[in-house]
């Protein structure tokens, strides 16, 4: 072999070796780049995950709680098997001479049947007969709110769960007919409460007014409220984001309200105008459940809506107002606050160069309560509706406007001491010939309300 040929072969081998090294080097570089790109992509996705309060349904599904071998349903509504009746909430009634379980229910008023309670006690069931009473404020609808009572027997002094069945069901078949037990709340009669003021809202459905929702929550805080209970059927996804935020702050409790899945509910109070089988999404049952749910959690409860604001006239908040009312009227009564309508068609044409209407708020769906400063005059010779703030331990039956049964009744608060501001969307022809009064009292809270609302909108919605 010539020297020239050997040199060529050596050069070829070197070239092949170099090519192999280059290919390996390029492969390593590509692999490293792909790894870095993958890492950066994953980090971006992790950073873009929204807080948990936006996605409460991501919570790991827990196995169902059981009582006496039967699943436990913590939320309303529990269907009573073979009857047109629905359990809403069950509570120990401490105010009677004989210890009882009171179950707030929604029943078909024409269904003539007897009920029995199945109590769960330390892993075994006890059946006791029950009595029931239908509330009078059913407004002529087929279904109405009812209380189902069962005495606590000596052999079961501290039942933890209850189910309702028909009295005609044979005892040996009872458990076969129970789909779910309901927990019995208010086991202890407390004297000290975690909340001073709780607001009960019922019932939220198809809710889209995001701005007013935030304004209501922040106004409640300014007035001294520590808890808001909302019985929710449905709402807009953006509304849900706001609700999730307040739930994460431990300010709001959402009680799922699915009665419309079982009963044809009305969207109004008058059957001839708004047909259905049950008054206004079962609002009255929800209000009664809220009173009992917070009976030993809150000093006072307010039964109102999100577009209603009970405001003291010369005091700052409810913390100052309620002791003053108790001194003036009586300690053991409920307090009625006269309704005053602020119609949305009377919007302030000049809200002060965005002083009461920040530009950022205009990006959010809903009414701005600070833009409504004209109230419709009330006729003192006529009955004017109201909402109440009351010690819940005085209440037996609540209704939309006031109380049906209570220990000491209610008193109407002088409207010069406090009144309710109600932002209402209705047609002008409904008002008739009543006059309008300029009333800017809501704006007395603007210095605290505006920054609080803006902060929540920015934090939750990025606005």
Digit-coded pLDDT (tens) for 65-94: 899 989 999 999 999 988 999 999 999 999
Strands (E), 140-187: 143-151, 161-166, 182-185
The pTM assigned to this predicted structure is 0.84
Listed in order, the ranges of the chain carrying CATH 2.60.40 are 66-185
Radius of gyration of the chain (CA): 31
CA count, 13 A, side-chain hemisphere, 258: 9
Largest CA distance in the chain: 129
State the span(s) of the chain assigned CATH 3.90.550.
195-461
Give the domain 195-461 fold: Spore Coat Polysaccharide Biosynthesis Protein SpsA; Chain A (3.90.550)
**CATH for the 66-185 domain, from 2.40.50, 2.60.40, 3.30.390, 3.30.110:** 2.60.40
Supply 263's token pair: 């009963």
CB neighbour list of residue 355: distance below 8 Å, 6 or more residues apart: 446
Residue pair 161/119 in contact by the 8 Å Cβ criterion: yes
The list of the chain residues with pLDDT below 50 reads: 1-9, 11-12, 36, 38-59
Which tens digits make up the pLDDT trace of 358-367?
Answer: 999 999 999 9
**What confidence score (pLDDT) does residue 271 get?**
87
| Residue 64 pLDDT | 79
Alpha-helical runs (H) found in 249-311? 283-293
Q: What is the pLDDT of residues 126-168, one digit of tens each?
A: 999 999 999 999 999 999 999 999 999 999 999 999 999 988 7
Distance CA 113, CA 109 (A): 10
């Amino acid at each position: 072999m010539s020297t020239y040929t050997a040199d060529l072969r050596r050069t070829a081998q070197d070239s092949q070796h170099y090519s192999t090294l280059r290919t390996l080097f390029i492969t390593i570089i590509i692999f490293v780049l792909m790894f870095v790109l993958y890492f950066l992509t994953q980090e971006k996705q992790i950073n873009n995950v929204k807080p948990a309060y936006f996605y409460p349904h991501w919570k790991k599904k827990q196995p169902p709680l059981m009582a006496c071998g039967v699943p436990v349903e913590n939320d309303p509504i529990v269907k009573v098997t073979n009857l047109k009746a629905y359990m809403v909430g069950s509570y120990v009634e401490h105010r009677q001479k004989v210890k009882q379980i009171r179950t707030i229910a929604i029943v078909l008023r024409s269904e003539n049947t007897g009920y029995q309670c199945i109590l769960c006690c330390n892993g075994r069931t006890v059946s006791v007969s029950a009595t029931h009473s239908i509330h009078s404020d059913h407004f002529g609808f087929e279904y109405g709110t009812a209380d189902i009572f069962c005495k606590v027997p000596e052999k079961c002094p501290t039942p933890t769960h209850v189910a309702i069945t028909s009295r005609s069901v044979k005892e040996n078949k009872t458990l076969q007919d129970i789909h779910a037990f309901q927990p019995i709340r208010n086991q202890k009669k407390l004297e000290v409460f975690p909340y001073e003021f709780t607001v009960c809202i019922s019932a939220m459905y198809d809710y889209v007014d995001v701005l007013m929702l935030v304004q209501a929550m922040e106004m409640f805080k300014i007035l001294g409220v520590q808890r808001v209970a909302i019985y929710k059927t449905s709402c807009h996804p953006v509304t849900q984001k706001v609700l999730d935020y307040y739930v994460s702050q431990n300010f709001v409790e959402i009680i799922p309200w699915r009665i419309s899945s079982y009963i044809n509910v009305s969207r109004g109070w008058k059957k001839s105008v708004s047909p259905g089988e049950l008054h206004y999404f079962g609002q009255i049952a929800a209000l009664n459940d809220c009173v009992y749910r917070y009976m030993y959690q809150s000093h006072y409860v307010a039964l109102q809506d999100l577009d209603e604001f009970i405001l003291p006239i010369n005091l700052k908040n409810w913390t100052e107002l309620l002791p003053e009312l108790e001194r003036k009227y009586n300690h053991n009564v409920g307090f009625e606050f006269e309704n005053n309508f602020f119609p949305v068609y009377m919007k302030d044409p000049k809200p002060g160069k965005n002083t009461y209407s920040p530009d950022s708020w205009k990006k959010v769906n809903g009414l701005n309560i600070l833009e409504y400063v004209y109230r419709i005059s009330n006729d003192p010779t006529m009955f004017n509706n109201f909402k109440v703030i009351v010690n819940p331990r005085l209440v037996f039956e609540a209704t939309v406007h006031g109380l049906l049964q209570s220990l000491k009744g209610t008193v109407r608060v002088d409207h010069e001491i406090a009144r309710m501001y109600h932002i209402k969307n209705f047609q002008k022809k409904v008002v008739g010939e009543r006059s309008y009064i300029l009333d800017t009292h809501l704006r007395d809270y603007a210095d605290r309300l505006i920054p609080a609302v803006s902060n929540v909108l920015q934090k939750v919605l990025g606005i």
